[in-house]
């Protein structure tokens, strides 16, 4: 296209650009300029010189980062915990959705749905407060255990059950919300399939396994790949609020490590930025990988909105 | 052939389905039992919190299994108000919502509408521009340093501005606007209206469902916000609600884990802590039925692409 026509089109669309201006300005200032700040990873930060003026040191910071055992531990711990989430948390909303879908008592179904989705809208601070109270040594669960003659269990201060505790509490908070996504996918299944299955004499369990489940495979795959994309980043809010002095070590994932070295010890901003850069790059790579796998499997990918010409 | 159909279903099927509805199978019973147990697992901890907030110290010490107070007391709530942190938190968070949510809506709506307009130069660039921020960000340190450099008059502004646009919500809104008939804006343009006029006079009045959904989403996000506040605000009279709650409940619990023997010696703070939790949850509980209705619509409009 020749430049004159392009410039004319730009001028014609000037009002549209005006619409974009506030948003773009925000993104530039609060999303892209901080990205420039990542150059601090290759510098030694001198407060008086600011980010721009601080001297370059190449990969010095990274040498120190990779020599910090706490850093390496936090990376492995993050991967380990989040891979575990895929095993112990990912299937739960799917199962719940399948079960709830089979329910035929409408009012009960709505009530259960409401209850399940409620904790998702609370912050982890509120949820931790509720669950800490419930699971505490003086809490209700231990009260019931004592009532049956058992010894109280230290649910919250025990490093060996800390990770399972994470899985259970995250399911408690969020499984209901994710379940809605699957329920929505189920609701779009063609009812004709159910009708013909019924005519063929299939039991409800059989329809669940052979029709419902395969029909939402697309959604399941996308959600699974999203989970993989979040492998490095999931869990900060939860772990920050539900861990305590006794379990802090067991829960130090990468994000918590970054928080600790940035704000809780003598702040070395260049070191911290180097870790952040590492995290951002790995996260970026994982998300791209996830998107690519999605597309290979025939889905639209994780970021569908880049539309070509026509829509439905 | 068309006359033989009842509502599009074969008469035999209708008869069959009706008979299936009348039988209650074992599967139904099992489902109800399982789902009830799970629902109770969620409800009971909340009831426990509610009860403790209304209970006296004696009753609390008597039994750990508290689901109903035998004598209701408002002492804990009084203690909570006397402490003052929750009240400060409410004030700060309300301010945050009042300034932050309109900003969120303005930025998101204008940009979403702009991105939804049909082909213009660099449109795909701008979309990529947004999507890139979902994939890659600078982390806390650059943001922290940036805020310090901006020398904002009030630290509250840092929190307001840090969360300006949620790219995910932006995309949902963009899809919504894209699905509106083009004729709406086209005919307005013929009458000489500019894009902003079209947005405010024509599009927005027709978009109340998505606006309501977004308002709720951003409001809930703001209400629950705490991490940015923790980093950017040092003054205790500007603490946001969630952090006030955290200082009351969790920080003291952390030290309790190390001093387990001192539990008896302390003031009866458990009741006050639970009162704080209830009060922090109240607005979400009130708004929740609305959330239920809107989020399903909102999710279906743009988010689910499977």
- Which 3-state string (H, E, C) describes B71-102? CCCCHHHHHHHHHCHHHHHHHHHHHHHHHHHH
Instruction: Tell me: pLDDT of B39 over 90.
Output: yes
pTM of the model: 0.85
DSSP-derived secondary structure letter, A43: B
Among B73, B98, B126, give the residue marking a domain's end: B73
Among B73, B92, B113, give the residue marking a domain's end: B73
- Report residue B127 CA to chain centroid gap: 26
Backbone angles phi, psi at A56, to 5 degrees: -75, 140
pLDDT at A67: 92
- The residue segments making up the domain with residue A253 are 68-296
Angle at B103 between CA B130 and CA B243, to 5 degrees: 100
- The residue segments making up the domain with residue B266 are 79-303
Query: What is this model's ipTM?
Result: 0.87
Give dist(CA A26, CA B106) in Å, integer: 11
Number of compact structural domains in chain B: 2
User: Which chain A residue has the Cα nearest residue B161?
Assistant: A30
Residues B34, B88, single domain; the answer is: no
Among B33, B57, B73, give the residue marking a domain's end: B73
Is B125 within 8 Å of chain A by CB? no
Residues of A in Cβ contact (< 8 Å) with B139: 34, 38, 258, 273, 276-277, 279-280
Residues B65, B212, single domain; the answer is: no
Each residue's pLDDT tens digit in chain A (312 positions)? 578 888 888 888 888 899 999 999 999 999 999 998 898 899 888 888 877 888 888 898 999 999 999 999 999 999 999 999 999 999 999 999 999 988 888 888 888 999 999 999 999 999 999 999 999 888 889 989 988 888 888 998 889 999 999 999 999 999 999 998 898 888 888 888 888 888 888 888 888 888 888 888 888 888 888 888 888 888 899 999 999 888 988 899 999 999 999 888 877 888 999 999 999 999 889 888 888 887 787 665 556 544 433 333
Is A171 within 8 Å of chain B by CB? no
Six-digit token string for B85:
């942190």
Contact B165 A27 (CB under 8 A): yes
Instruction: Assess contact for A57 and A41: CB atoms under 8 A.
Output: no
The residue assigned the tokens 């010095």 is A60
Number of compact structural domains in chain A: 1
Residues B87, B209, single domain; the answer is: yes
* pLDDT-above-70 percentage for chain B: 84
Touching A: B residues 275-304, CB under 8 Å: 276-277, 280-281, 284, 288, 291-292, 295-296, 299-300, 304
Residues B66, B96, single domain; the answer is: no
pLDDT 10s digits, B240-297: 999 999 988 877 665 555 555 555 445 678 888 999 999 999 999 888 877 777 766 6
Residues B107, B229, single domain; the answer is: yes
CATH number (domain holding residue B210)? 1.10.3720.10
Is B188 within 8 Å of chain A by CB? no
Residues B193, B211, single domain; the answer is: yes
B31 burial type by CB count under 10 A (0-12 exposed, 13-18 middle, 19+ buried): buried
Residues of B in Cβ contact (< 8 Å) with A271: none
Contact A306 B164 (CB under 8 A): no
Is A206 within 8 Å of chain B by CB? no
Give dist(CA A161, CA B150) in Å, integer: 44
Instruction: Assess contact for A1 and B119: CB atoms under 8 A.
Output: no
Residues B55, B157, single domain; the answer is: no
Q: Angle, nearest 10°, between helix axes A162-187 and A106-117? A: 140
Touching B: A residues 55-94, CB under 8 Å: none
Instruction: Tell me: pLDDT of B71 over 90.
Output: no
Is A14 within 8 Å of chain B by CB? no
Give dist(CA A108, CA A281) in Å, integer: 46
Residues B51, B90, single domain; the answer is: no
What b/e readout covers B199-215, taking b as 16+ CB neighbours within 10 angstroms?
A: beebbeeebeebbebbb
Instruction: Measure B107 CA to nearest chain A CA, in Å.
Output: 5
Residues of B in Cβ contact (< 8 Å) with A119: 42
Residues B136, B273, single domain; the answer is: yes
Residues B85, B121, single domain; the answer is: yes
CATH number (domain holding residue A162)? 1.10.3720.10
């Amino acid at each position: 296209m020749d430049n004159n026509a392009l410039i004319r089109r730009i001028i014609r669309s000037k009002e549209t650009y005006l619409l974009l201006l506030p948003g773009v300005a925000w993104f530039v200032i609060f999303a892209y300029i901080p990205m420039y700040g990542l150059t601090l990873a290759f510098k030694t930060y001198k407060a008086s010189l600011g980010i721009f003026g601080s001297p370059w040191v190449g990969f010095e910071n990274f040498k120190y980062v990779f020599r910090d055992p706490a850093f390496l531990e936090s990376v492995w711990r993050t991967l380990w915990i989040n891979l575990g989430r895929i095993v112990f948390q990912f299937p739960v909303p799917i199962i719940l959705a399948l079960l709830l879908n089979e329910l035929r008592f409408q009012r009960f179904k709505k009530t259960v749905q409401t209850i399940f989705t409620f904790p998702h809208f609370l912050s982890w601070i509120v949820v931790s407060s509720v669950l800490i109270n419930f699971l505490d040594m003086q809490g209700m669960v231990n009260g019931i255990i004592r009532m049956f003659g058992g010894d109280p269990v230290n649910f919250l201060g025990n490093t060996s059950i800390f990770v399972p505790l994470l899985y259970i509490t995250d399911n408690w908070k969020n499984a209901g919300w994710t379940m809605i996504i699957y329920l929505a996918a189920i609701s779009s299944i063609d009812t004709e399939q159910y009708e013909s299955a019924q005519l063929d004499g299939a039991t409800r369990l059989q329809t669940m396994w052979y029709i419902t489940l395969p029909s939402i495979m697309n959604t399941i795959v996308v959600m699974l790949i999203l989970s993989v994309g979040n492998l490095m980043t999931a869990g900060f809010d939860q772990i920050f609020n539900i861990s305590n002095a006794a379990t802090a070590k067991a829960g130090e994932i990468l994000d918590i490590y970054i928080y600790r070295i940035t704000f809780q010890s003598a702040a070395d901003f260049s070191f911290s930025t180097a870790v952040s850069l590492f995290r951002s790059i790995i996260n970026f790579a994982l998300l791209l990988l996830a998107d690519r796998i999605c597309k290979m499997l025939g889905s639209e990918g994780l970021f569908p909105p880049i539309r070509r010409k026509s829509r439905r | 052939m068309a006359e033989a159909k009842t509502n599009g279903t074969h008469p035999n099927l209708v008869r069959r389905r009706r008979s299936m509805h009348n039988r209650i199978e074992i599967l139904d019973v099992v489902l109800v039992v399982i789902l009830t147990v799970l629902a109770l697992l969620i409800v009971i901890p909340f009831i426990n919190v509610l009860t403790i907030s209304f209970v006296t110290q004696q009753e609390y010490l008597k039994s750990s299994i508290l689901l109903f107070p035998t004598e209701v007391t408002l002492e804990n709530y009084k203690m909570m108000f006397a402490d003052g942190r929750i009240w400060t938190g409410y004030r700060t968070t309300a301010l945050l919502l009042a300034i932050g949510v309109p900003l969120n809506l303005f930025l998101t709506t204008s940009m979403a509408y702009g991105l939804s307009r049909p082909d213009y130069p660099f449109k795909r660039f701008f979309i990529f521009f947004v999507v890139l921020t979902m994939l890659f960000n600078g982390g806390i340190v650059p943001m922290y340093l940036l805020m310090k450099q901006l020398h904002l008059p009030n630290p509250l502004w840092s929190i307001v501005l840090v969360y300006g646009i949620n790219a995910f919500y932006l995309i949902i809104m963009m899809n919504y606007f894209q699905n509106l008939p083009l004729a709406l804006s086209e005919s307005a343009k013929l009458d000489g209206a500019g894009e902003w006029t079209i947005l405010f006079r024509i599009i927005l009045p027709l978009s109340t469902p998505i606006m309501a959904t977004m308002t709720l989403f951003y409001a809930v996000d703001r209400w629950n916000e705490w991490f940015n506040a923790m980093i950017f605000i040092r003054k205790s009279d500007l603490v946001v609600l969630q952090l006030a709650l955290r200082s009351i409940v969790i920080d003291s619990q952390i030290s309790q884990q190390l001093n387990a023997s001192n539990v008896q010696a302390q003031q009866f703070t458990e009741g006050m802590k639970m009162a704080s939790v209830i009060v922090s949850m109240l607005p979400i509980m009130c708004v929740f039925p609305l959330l239920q209705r809107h989020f399903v619509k909102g999710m279906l409009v743009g988010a689910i692409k499977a």
